[in-house]
Amino acid sequence: MSRSDPAIADLGTLEAAAEVVHSFVQPTAQICWPLLSERSGCELWVKHENHTPIGSFKARGGLVYLDDLKKSQPAVSGVIAATTGNFGQAVAFAATSMGLKPTIVVPHGNSLEKNASMRAFGGELTVHGRDFDEAYDYAFSVAEERGLHMMKSFHPLLVLGVASYGLEFLRAAPELDTVYVPIGLGSGICGMIAAREALGLKTRIVGVVAEKAATYALSFERGEPVATDSADTFADGMAVRVPDADALAVILKAVERIVTLSEDEIRAAMRHYFTDTHNLAEGAGAAPLAALLKERERMAGKRVGLILSGGNIDREVYLKVLAEG
């Protein structure tokens, strides 16, 4: 994969990365749910990344990144990353699987259940900062002090691993007109773009963000990075204030549009997933469904895919969301 363009890789390279992923993580299901299709007015296929061992697509990128690290820098014994949860679980899961010691930095107020999961996968947790971006900056300083390898949250090797879900989805589901993908820092949507390009398909890709964390929507509109003062969204998987320049460059070239969502729209989509499929979806995971429902008229009668990117949400929070319905 090109270091200058994280979404350019030939099919053979993507398939080799997928082999690494599949040695630890089985391909996830893609299901056409009749009640969701009825609700959305189209033939709707869901890619269930909430069914990986960590309940999120992020496991894929961590495995490919650390497999490469082990081969290229065998002397490295420990890694560090910043996260609000799913990336941290991926790093802990992948590092422990490969005999490396993972340190994870999370912001204050982070999900207690995600924190517990990261520890269970072998991660050593440090709490610092008011949000992801402050935790991210702090992780760099800890890496330097302790001689740890810093894992950035966006990197071409992460995209290469994540692209495996794109290959699975686009090959297994009937040809899709459009796929909706949530945007955190960007590896998920860039992985889908990489798979589409390698397979030579014309499937449109639509990004999804929260109104309260709209950095990528604003940047897409302006054609350049636009940071925001806060990312105070309930959907922590999309809670980013500062876009990654490399990810944005890919998104600007390859994404059809970006849909912004209210907190209520995201929460309603979580309830729809439970009602129509009995699947648990966290905020970011449910956001693509919310975006499709917002564009129901536009997508009527088409064949559409959604990335249910994760299902990691604290029990008390989820119960409140269900009760609102």
| pTM summary value | 0.93
Q: What is the pLDDT of residue 230?
A: 85
Comparing C-alpha atoms, which of 161, 149, 168, 184 is closest to residue 6? 161
Q: What is the pLDDT of residue 5?
A: 62
In this structure, are 201 and 116 located in the same domain? no
Which of 150, 167, 189 lies at the terminal end of a domain, its last residue? 150
Print the domain residue range for 137. 58-150
pLDDT tens digits, residue range 272-285? 999 999 999 999 99
pLDDT tens digits, residue range 80-105? 999 987 899 999 999 999 999 999 99
The Cα angle at residue 246 between residues 242 and 248, in degrees rounded to 5: 60
Q: What is the pLDDT of residue 132?
A: 84
Q: How many CB atoms lie within 10 A of CB 245?
A: 12
In this structure, are 230 and 130 located in the same domain? no
Which of 101, 134, 150 lies at the terminal end of a domain, its last residue? 150
| Strand-by-strand arrangement of the 124-127 sheet | 124-127, 101-106, 78-82, 149-150
Q: What is the pLDDT of residue 7?
A: 60
DSSP state of 186: S
* Mean pLDDT of the chain, nearest integer: 95
In this structure, are 251 and 297 located in the same domain? yes
Distances in whole angstroms, Cα of residue 299 to Cα of each of 75, 178, 196, 205? 51, 9, 20, 13
Comparing C-alpha atoms, which of 30, 284, 253, 36 is closest to residue 182? 284
Number of domains, the chain: 2
Q: What is the pLDDT of residue 2?
A: 44
Q: What is the pLDDT of residue 6?
A: 62
CATH number of the domain where residue 124 is located: 3.40.50.1100
In this structure, are 77 and 215 located in the same domain? no
In this structure, are 66 and 195 located in the same domain? no
pLDDT tens digits, residue range 21-30? 999 999 999 9
> Residue ranges of the chain with pLDDT lower than 50?
1-4
In this structure, are 67 and 143 located in the same domain? yes
Residue-wise DSSP of 254-306 = H-SEEEEE-HHHHHHHHHHHHHHH-----HHHHHHHHHHHHTTTTTTTSEEEE
DSSP state of 307: E
DSSP state of 236: G
In a domain, residue 165? The reply is: yes
